[in-house]
Structure formats: structure tokens, C-alpha cells
Structure 1
């Protein structure tokens, strides 16, 4: 270095440096970089273009304009412009002007003969970070990857065709797909966009800001919210805690933050609430309220640990996510998400994801090589079997997705879960067989909403299904480990954990008139046409029965100490009141046997008039009995003088001489078909 400094000036040394260093994409020196990225000589570069090129030597693969970190590239380019302004090379006004330029939109995209470009860039970034960019550019290494070229071509075609359909129908400009071998962790296919070489869309958009489609951005390694496709990790965590697919939770409107400044009242996709429901049905139907409750039971931190153990990277701020985590409140990458599902496919045994089979140096020596490993058993197979049984059973989701959605397979076992984020910004479909795990994301690069109704099953599932239909024929039909519910729950004492409510079935009840949502057990006082058959259930949420940390242990002595108990309890009470026409009523709303006073308006009534004429008394009776008249009888001095089955009757009673100049007691009685009776009496004096 001393010899160089003695022989050359600092400007000459800098010039030589700039003419020799790598800028990525096989561009060495600033002149080559200017031609490669902007198709112009270096002397014609504008300040915004020159500032961008100045960033590249720091990490040529990471900051490549053709890679997945263009947002970081732009951030650093703007930092260079600010530095130039601070040093006086340009004014601050000029710096702001050049920062506003869409410099990424000026990048010249050359459609080179690169196969699987997003995968290639992903591998190159890994190699540069591990071995150095210069070694990779000049070292003569041979790289053998895990890519399955047949599957890659199928994936690229499925994504491209799917996006073309989604663009018009759902306003979804992009999609990505990843496929992983669960048994090895090898990445078999990676499609980061519909077309790496296609220009950003819509025309005139600013790259990195408002483009719905950016071909060179690898969405497979970008953070996106997963929506409901995160739910299986939460339910799996709950299963490890002692809950079961059959465990009952209440799908009722619930304010999880009641009493605080910010309400949190999640809604289901259809705005409906279904009351008591089993976890397997709630997950299959992708209901949000039961999912939030399951997350509370499983624990936010423990659910995040589970997701990380399965293969998710990130989720490092549990306090920020809170209970919204289960609805996709945290960000994940499609590649990691698929890797986590691959761990599920491998019965809870995690393999490290990899894109490398072997690396040889220029001498042919092996520098790095993939080796089969047993993997880490991060969750017991028995719990994964519970989850498999839920998300591979089409019956569990048919009421929401229909009997014949893209998730249905009749000839083999396939587990699947969709996800949709707020305002339809992301659509996901994740799934697996024992032999392959596949994940698909669909949406827009700039996170703008798709059209309403752009659920994961509509925008991502068709792409996912198209890929699987073409590749599964090469896989044997393996089955998931069997979940034996009878064996798993045989020693469980709490009914709610094994799918039963504390109920008294086939109880005939009547709603009590004038009392809001109150019922009584039907008897003779209740009209026959008012009698309903209902299941009477103990109307308590699951926290009444279980300590969430130890659900199979003793019942909590004071469940109200749990901060969510009263919030959940209120939701349950309100649901029963709003759904009195349902087949289940709360035991708190059943007031025992029906009482005569409760049904006074249904009781029989009778009136009587008398008219005297000499020794004759005309007696007229009118009766009203909503349950029907069994008999109407008239008595004089205790003796029956008339009997009828109609609502009105009359009789002329001749007073015997022996009762002249006396008082007569006249009575009338009606008995209805339920055995209820009413009577009326009168005393008259007779003299003739």
C-alpha cells in the first residue's frame, strides 16, 4: 500500500478502485455498472443514479436492484444524497429533488437466460453472505441446488395464470409460491412473483411505493400478515396444553378489552355467532372469536414459541400483537410459513430449510454439502395428529367453503388452511401432504386492498390447487398419523373438554309471558301450542370449568379471578338472550315448573247471569278456555243441574215450593282440556 501511495495520487487510487470493484450482476467497475443498470456511460449518470450505484459495493447481492431488498437500497441511496448535500456537493433542495426521483424505475431489466430467477437471487444472497461476493464472482465455485426444475416450471405457470385471472376479477396483481420437501427441508420450488422480468404495474407507478406488481421483488421472502393461516399454530399449542379438537368454546360476541379504553370486539367473516362450538369446527370454519379465545387459553407467548419452533422467523414483539396474533396480526414470510407447515407435514419433526445440495470449489473439493438429518421433534406427533384430523377433513370447513372448494381432495389426505387479512390485502393458502408442503400468497406488492370477497380460498387456493394437481401424481398416497379421540379422552372428567355441555336433553319448556327470555318446565298451565323442546345447558364459558394453564386439573374455585372470565361470561349470557329460538337455552333462564300465575291469560274464565220469573230462574253461562273446554257445569245448592261441552250454555231451573222465600246458591264451573278450572257463584233470593 505504501508503494501504491508513493506511485499514485489519492484520486488515481480512487479511480482505479472504482474501475475494479464489483457492483453485482457481473458488473466490475463503475463504467460497467452504469451500462448494466442504466444502459448509459458513467459520465451521463444523474446524481440519483450515481448515488444508487454507490450503495451496491457494500453488499452486491443484498442491495441488488434485481433482488428483494430494493426498499433498503432506496433508503441507503437517499442517505448518500443527504451526505452529498451535507458535504456541499449538491444543495439540500437538489438532494430532495433527486430523492423524489423514481430511480428504481430507471433500472434497465435485461431478460437474461436465468432460470428460476428469484430462487437464483435467494441462493446468491446466501452465498455472498457466507463466502463473500468476490469469491462467488471469481472463485470458480460450482453450486448444486435443491430446485426441482419440473416443479419450478409448474409453479411458475400456475402463478402466472392465477394472477392473470385474479387481476381482472379480484384486483390482485401478484402472487408467490413455495414448495418444500418436509422430510429434508429442501426447497423444491420458489416463485417470488408472476414474472421476474415484467415491468412494474400500473404503468408510471413508483417502484417501492405504489406499484401493485414489482416482478423483481421476491414476495416469498417479504413480511406479510398471514391472516387465518396462522390459526393452526395456535390450536396446536392449545392441544399441547390439554385441550382437544372436541373441546367446546363459545362463539359469541365478546369484548376482550371491556373496562379498558380500547374495545376489542372481533367479528366473524359473516357477522354471525354460533354459540357453543367445538374447536375442530371453529378452526375448520375459520371463526375468529373462538380463535381469539383459543389463543388466550394457549397463551400468546407460548403460541409464538410454537410458531418459531415450527419454522417461523420473526414475531419478536409479542406485546404489539396481543390477542390479534391469531388473526394474523404478526408478519411472516411465505418461505418460513411454508417451512413451518412442512414441520407439521413431517409429524412435528423440523428440518432446516435449505436451497443447497452441494458446493464445490474450482478444484472439485466439496466446500458445503447437504446431509440427511433426523430433524428436531419440536412438538409431539400425537398433537400434530389432532391438528391433521381437523384441517384435512373437508366436513369441518364445508359449511363455509362449500363441499367442492379447491381444498377438497377425495383420493388422498391433504391438510389445508386459508388466510385473509383485513380489507382483503393478503390472501393465503397453506397446506401439505406427508410428502410435500406448499404455500401460496396472493395480493398486491404495495399492500393496496383487493376487491371485497378476495379471500384466500378465491385468490390463492386455485393457484395452490393447480400446482398440487400436477405434482401429486408423482407422490405415493401416504396418510397422516391417526388421531384416536376415544383413547385420547378416555380419562378426561370434564365434559366441556370432550365436547359435551352440562345438559338435560329433551326438556319441554314454555317461555314465560311478560318475562324477558325466561322459561319454565311445561305443565298444565302452559298452552300446548306454546310448548317447545329445548336442550337446557349450563350457560358458562370454559373458564368456569378450567384453569387455562391446567385445563385437565381441578375446577377453579374462583373463576372470576381470571381477567377474561366476566367478559366471556357476559357474551354467553347475551347470546342466549338473543337466540331464544335456538335449540339450546341457558339453565339460568329456566325458572323451574310453570306456575299458574305466569300463564294467567291462558287460564279458563267463566261468567254467569241469572233472571228470575216467578218460580223459574234462567241461568246463562259463558266460558273461555284457550286450552279447549272439557266441560261447563251448573249447580244449584250443590246439585248439578246442567252439563255442556260448549262455551255457552243455559238452563231454566224451576224452584220447588220447599225453597220458596229462601236464598239459592248458584254456581258454574268450567274445566279446560289441561285440567285447569274456573268457577263463578251467585246467591239469589226467591219469593213467589
Structure 2
């Protein structure tokens, strides 16, 4: 076509306008067109992508509800069928023209002279110019000739600066399709469930047809797609069904891996609004392994009323989170809840910090003897009577045995030595954000009556692994200098009490080492767990389990020389599990992950830090005294060593005979407060007598001691475990009709439920000072 004819066609299109001024405006607009690199860099997906530490996608979340725009795809990632279909449908001479299709302009102008309805003369380049310049966006009634001239001028400028492949690539990423879908990636995933590289000829023809009629009915889309296929000499058999199925599909999550939704939501909320992705510290392989291990184990526990769980894995040295599994996914009815950040009662997992603080203050050593016998602690609501998980008491035990076997009464005694407020302050030093002062929790704080998160509790264990030094966690890859400045500001603010310092040392390396040594001692926990439990690892590992609130929360947290692994198992709803202890619930997941982390290199035990001494110790017990500890090589903080530990029966309490009294327990005037977190039938008051039972040689021994409660015969024998009932009671011990002793006591914190014939009444218990905690 000659230059003169082109000018006449443009003149016809610009009739009625001040051509010189308008073209000057168009030139100014075209001069502001961005480069291809700028367009690609400014592409903002509607979805947020979480990347692992190597930059690989782990999770995608919808951020912009108004439009669906996915990450940019290169032309090499678009199927040849799609590239062919869009060119044949929208601009058949795309590869030949320089931005303006003069033959199309001529055909359009000729048709307009005869008022014929035909396609416009806009090329792909002209359409892209309109998409890039929002002022040139297509109006509802179509563009007039003046606006088309602006597009034409901008298209020439684009073609002069961009390569043809760049034009087509940018167009496919910007063109609106159907409804909220913008760009080929969003269309391909939503309508066909695949990436653009996988589109076949029919799917590509449908996509091209939707460019022309984004909101057309299915029959119109199918008809237009057949025309595109005809241009390629391809059959359109079955196209109606493909169109119907495609248009019926609803949008869903982005294709690809979806394995870290909870951390992705956290980082998306913290990231700038224009950040399409964030690189996390997660290890993609470890994240998948943790997720699969947790789900597999929860499936095995499904018959025990367990559906939720969480896992966190931390690098000890750097404080980087390597795995963050906030839930069990489809197994849960509360999949959106991030159990890594949920506040739950930690149970016995707080005990290592109780003893660590006691070691630090020289109140106890690993060899110190604590009494594991029933104890009544006065509180504002009555008496608090802690129980052990197995309802057994073992007398006098060393701290190593008490912590290793997770005995509750010794832990409460250790907490009482510290004081509730001092214990609460010490726990805060480990990064546990307790909401209330220590007095609010009372004696039960040592057994985990406060609420903490799995993230914070696991980082507190990491502090033990690092010799008592606490520092914050990191779960986002950032600039090292920026992180250093942030930590410096935090330290400065922390000196004035307005922020948490970047590093604190709540206990010394020596005290932390003693706790670590006990938690890693498989023999020390043999009484409760045996020698072959899930807590016994191939290499070094210090680990503690915990169960709380009538089996509502189940924990296993431990560390090796390189990693800290925290696992929680339970129900987000707070409903109790059925017969799931720490060693059966969370421990198998913990053990599997520790084994995988150290498959190539076993974990090594730490060396003795300065200030720790080893001393062989000897235990002695007087006649009548019993203890489970044996002579061994023990570790002490320097200055607290002691070779011989002697136990006299006179040192015991609670079971010693009272002069002139036949009833040893309960004592006269005692008040019992029932615990709401222990099943009522599992709570017993021990009735114990020191009176002898006579028998005659050659004759059956007849029980001569009888317990009478409130005027009724209750049981026989020198001891009886009684299911407590609320109210004030009179208990007498009788022998051959004579009353040997009588006491009065009270049971609080329970209300009666209807009794059935020949069935003992159950107790529906009310609030108590603190729950008992299990291993």
C-alpha cells in the first residue's frame, strides 16, 4: 500500500478533529510508554506466593479479591497452540506489520462506508498499548477514530522499542478474559486446571474466543472457537462439551505446591501490599516431610478422637524456622487455625524451666531429694492436691528422677521454693509471654496452668540447647545488615523495658546443661516411660513430653545438637482426646523428624561447660524409708557438690504416725478440692490407718478394721481409696464394734449428678486452682 493511500485513510479517520494538536498529544502519550522490562517488573499478581529458602514456591494465597492475576509467564511457557490461536484470532498479520495493519485499516474503513459490521483494525500491539495506558482503556461503546489513532501512534512506538516476542508475551499476561480473569495464566488455571504450557488446540481456541467475547454465552464461545480451529484446518468435534465444562469451573487455589498456608498468611499480612512473594527460611523438603509425618500419625490416632496437630523445626544456631506446619489440613474441622501460634496449656513441658531456675538459684541440684507424696497446698479456692499422671507416688526421689519421670508433686515443691512470681518472671525470660502475674496461676504454674504457643515454647527449649541463651526466631530471609540494625534497636529498647531484647540469658550455661543432661538421660525416665520409648534416639537428644487439661493438649518438644523440634497434638475445639499421652500422641512425630534430620550425621552430646563438676554420689536410707534412686555419677554446678545423700524416715511428711491417732489420712479438718481436669472416677482420697489387723493361726483372717463414712459402713482393711463426694463428712475407723478414731473433713469443687441403683454417684466438678499435668 502506498504512502499516499495510508495518509488518505488516516485523514478519513481523523475528520472533524484538529489533527495536528491531537497527533501532538498522541506523541506525548506514546513518549511515556514503558519499556518491556518495566512492564514485566510492575506486574502485580493477585495471589501472594510464599517461597522456601531456595526460592521455590511453597504456598499461594489470594490477596486481591477484585481481580485474578497470576505470576507472569514467558512466551516459552505458553503452548505453541495458544500462540497460534491468539494470532489467527486477533491479528493474522502480526508477524509482518510494524504495529499498524494497514490492510486491516483499509478493510475497516471500506466497511464503515457501507455501514457493514466487521472486526476493527486494532492489532495485538495496538490492544497492548491500550492495556498499558489506562487512559486508553476500551470504553463500553467502543473506541472512536481519535482513540484508535492514539493507539496506532503508541503501537508504532512499541514496535520500534520492543521485539515482537515481547509484545506477544506482554499481551498474553495483560489481556482480560472472562469475569475477574486477567492474563492467560489465570484463565488457563481457572478454566482448564493447567498451566499455559499445557493448553491444547481446542482449549487455545476457546481462550482466543473469550478475548473477543469475554462474557459471551457458551454457544457463542463454541462457535467462535470453531472458527479459530477452522483457520488452522482442525476439527471442532466435541468443542461444545469442552466449552461447557470450562465455563462451569470455579476458581480455586493456584496450581502447584500448597504446603505452608499458615506461615504464608502470617507473612502476607506483614509484607508490603505490592510484594508478590516473600522468601522464607523454610526448607521445602523438611516442610513436606513434617506435614506428611504429622498427617500420617494423626490418621493412626483418628479412633482416639484426635484431628489436629502442629510442628515447628528450628535451627539452633541461627534461630531460623525450617518447618512450620500449623495444622493437619483436610483432617481438621478448623484448618484455618494456626496451631503453631495458638495459646494452649503446656502441661509438663514447663517442668525443665522450673528446675533450671532452681538450679540457677542454687536451691536444688540434680541429686537433691524431693518428696513425692500427697500434698495439700492452700489456695484462695481451697486446697490444691496435685496428682501424678499414673496416680502413683514414689516417696522420696532425686530431682533427676523427678524430672525424668515427669512427677508432678516434686515439680510443685520446686516451684514453691522459687515462688510463683519469681517463677513467672523466669518463664518470661525464656520468651514465654504469660498474660498474668505468678500469683494468678498459683502452685499449678509449675505444671503448666498458663497458656503458651508452640512457637514460643519450642524457642524456649532452643534456649536450653544454646546454653541458656535466648534469642528471637526468624522465618523470613532478609538482609543481614538490616537484621543487625533491627536487633540493635530492639536491644536498646529492651534496656528501657519497652521491647524484648534480641538476646537474653535467663539461666547460666551450667544450669542449662544440668537440665539438658537430665532430659537426655534415657535411664532417668525409665520408671514412667521404659527404656524403649519413642523418646530414646540413636544419638543425643534432650526431650520432654506433656499432657494437659484432661488430655486436651499433647506435647513433645526436644532438641539435638543442631535442631529443636516441637510437636503439638490435640483438637482445636478443645475437646479431649481418648487415652493419648505425650509418648503416644506427639512423641512418634517428634522421633520420626529427629531421625530424618540426623540420618546422615548422628547428634552429638554437648561438652561439659565451665562451672559444671562431676561427682560420684551415694544414697543412704534409714530403716523404714524407701527410695528409688541408686548410686551414680552426678553433675553439679560448681560449689553445690555433695557426695552422700541420706534419707531418714523422720524426714518424711504426710504418712508419719500421729501420736494417739489411728487414722493417718485424711487428717482432721482437711479440705479436698477436686480437679476439673481429671476424670472424677480417677480422683481418690486415700483412707489410711496405722492400726494392726489381728488374725488367728489356722483360721481365715477376717478383716477387723472397718471404715464408716457418715454413719454407713464403707470398706474394710487398713487402707481404702475412696471416690470423693462433695460435702462435709464424718469418717470413723472401727475395730470389733469399737470406734478407734474419728475425723471430719470436707470435699469441695463438685456437684452431685443423679445416682442410679447399685451405681456409685459421679461427681461433676467445678473450678479448681490448677489442673494436674501428665508426662
State the TM-score, normalizing by the size of structure 2: 0.46
Taking a change above 3 Å as real, the CA distance of residues 235 and 270 of structure 1, as seen in their structure-2 partners, is: same
The correspondence for 2:550, drawn from 423, 433, 437, is 423
Provide the secondary structure at the position in 2 that maps to 1:332.
coil
Deviations 1:59-90 (A, max 9, x none): xxxxxxxxxxxxxxxxxxxxxxxxxxxxxxxx
The correspondence for 1:400, drawn from 514, 520, 528, is 528
Partners of 2:67 and 2:612 lie apart in 1 by 73
Taking a change above 3 Å as real, the CA distance of residues 156 and 29 of structure 1, as seen in their structure-2 partners, is: closer
Which residue in 1 is equivalent to 2:374?
A: 253
- Is the contact made by 1:358 and 1:369 (CA closer than 8 Å) also made in structure 2? no
Deviations 1:577-597 (A, max 9, x none): 9999xxxxxxxxx9xxxxxxx
The correspondence for 1:267, drawn from 387, 392, 411, is 387
The correspondence for 1:221, drawn from 305, 328, 341, is 341
Partners of 2:264 and 2:484 lie apart in 1 by 18
Partners of 1:579 and 1:484 lie apart in 2 by 48
Partners of 2:566 and 2:598 lie apart in 1 by 15
- Is the contact made by 2:345 and 2:549 (CA closer than 8 Å) also made in structure 1? no
Which has more strand, going by share of residues? 1
Partners of 1:393 and 1:342 lie apart in 2 by 18
The correspondence for 1:239, drawn from 331, 354, 359, is 359
Which residue in 1 is equivalent to 2:326?
A: 192
Does 1:157 pair with 2:277? no
Provide the secondary structure at the position in 2 that maps to 1:356.
coil
Provide the secondary structure at the position in 2 that maps to 1:268.
coil
Which residue in 1 is equivalent to 2:317?
A: 183
Provide the secondary structure at the position in 2 that maps to 1:417.
strand
Which residue in 2 is equivalent to 1:573?
A: 656
Aligned pairs for 1:551-590 within 5 A:
570-573=653-656
- Is the contact made by 2:62 and 2:253 (CA closer than 8 Å) also made in structure 1? no
Which residue in 2 is equivalent to 1:285?
A: 405
Deviations 1:325-357 (A, max 9, x none): 111100000011110011111111222111122
Provide the secondary structure at the position in 1 that maps to 2:528.
helix
Taking a change above 3 Å as real, the CA distance of residues 272 and 143 of structure 1, as seen in their structure-2 partners, is: same
Which residue in 2 is equivalent to 1:119?
A: 263
Partners of 2:395 and 2:407 lie apart in 1 by 11
Shift of residue 424, structure 1, vs aligned partner: 0.6
Taking a change above 3 Å as real, the CA distance of residues 377 and 163 of structure 1, as seen in their structure-2 partners, is: same
Deviations 1:536-584 (A, max 9, x none): 99xxxxxxxxxxxx999xxxxxxxxxxxxx9x9752526999999xxxx
Which residue in 2 is equivalent to 1:172?
A: 306
Shift of residue 430, structure 1, vs aligned partner: 0.6
Aligned pairs for 1:15-414 within 5 A:
26-28=62-64, 110=253, 113=256, 114-125=258-269, 127-128=270-271, 136-139=272-275, 143-168=278-303, 170-195=304-329, 198=330, 201=332, 213-242=333-362, 243-257=364-378, 262-358=382-478, 375-409=503-537, 411-414=538-541
Provide the secondary structure at the position in 1 that maps to 2:397.
strand
Which residue in 1 is equivalent to 2:588?
A: 462
Deviations 1:8-32 (A, max 9, x none): xxxxxxxxxxxxxx99955546688
- Is the contact made by 1:246 and 1:499 (CA closer than 8 Å) also made in structure 2? no
Partners of 1:461 and 1:216 lie apart in 2 by 24
Provide the secondary structure at the position in 1 that maps to 2:567.
strand
Partners of 1:121 and 1:478 lie apart in 2 by 36
Partners of 1:436 and 1:121 lie apart in 2 by 25
Taking a change above 3 Å as real, the CA distance of residues 343 and 370 of structure 1, as seen in their structure-2 partners, is: farther
Partners of 2:485 and 2:405 lie apart in 1 by 40
The correspondence for 2:566, drawn from 419, 436, 439, is 439
Which residue in 1 is equivalent to 2:704?
A: none
Provide the secondary structure at the position in 2 that maps to 1:482.
coil
Partners of 1:446 and 1:191 lie apart in 2 by 18
Deviations 1:158-216 (A, max 9, x none): 11111111112x21111100011111111111000112xx3x75xxxxxxxxxxx3112
Shift of residue 468, structure 1, vs aligned partner: 1.2
Which residue in 2 is equivalent to 1:487?
A: 613
Shift of residue 359, structure 1, vs aligned partner: 5.8
Which residue in 1 is equivalent to 2:720?
A: none
Shift of residue 481, structure 1, vs aligned partner: 3.6
Shift of residue 146, structure 1, vs aligned partner: 1.2
Stretches of structure 1 that go unaligned for 5 or more consecutive residues are: 1-21, 34-40, 43-106, 129-135, 202-212, 361-365, 491-497, 508-533, 538-549, 553-565, 581-589, 591-600, 602-688
Which residue in 1 is equivalent to 2:209?
A: none
Partners of 1:429 and 1:289 lie apart in 2 by 21
Provide the secondary structure at the position in 2 that maps to 1:350.
coil
Taking a change above 3 Å as real, the CA distance of residues 413 and 218 of structure 1, as seen in their structure-2 partners, is: same
Which residue in 1 is equivalent to 2:4?
A: none
- Is the contact made by 1:26 and 1:137 (CA closer than 8 Å) also made in structure 2? no
Taking a change above 3 Å as real, the CA distance of residues 323 and 119 of structure 1, as seen in their structure-2 partners, is: same
Partners of 1:264 and 1:108 lie apart in 2 by 56
Provide the secondary structure at the position in 2 that maps to 1:395.
coil
Shift of residue 269, structure 1, vs aligned partner: 1.2
- Is the contact made by 1:304 and 1:315 (CA closer than 8 Å) also made in structure 2? no
Larger CA deviation: 107-116 vs 400-409: 107-116
How many equivalent residue pairs? 402
State the TM-score, normalizing by the size of structure 1: 0.52
User: Over the residues paired in the alignment, what is the CA RMSD in angstroms?
Assistant: 4.3
Which residue in 1 is equivalent to 2:743?
A: none
Which residue in 2 is equivalent to 1:87?
A: none
Taking a change above 3 Å as real, the CA distance of residues 574 and 329 of structure 1, as seen in their structure-2 partners, is: farther
Partners of 1:484 and 1:368 lie apart in 2 by 31
Provide the secondary structure at the position in 2 that maps to 1:254.
coil
- Is the contact made by 2:467 and 2:513 (CA closer than 8 Å) also made in structure 1? yes
Partners of 2:360 and 2:251 lie apart in 1 by 53
Partners of 2:609 and 2:580 lie apart in 1 by 33
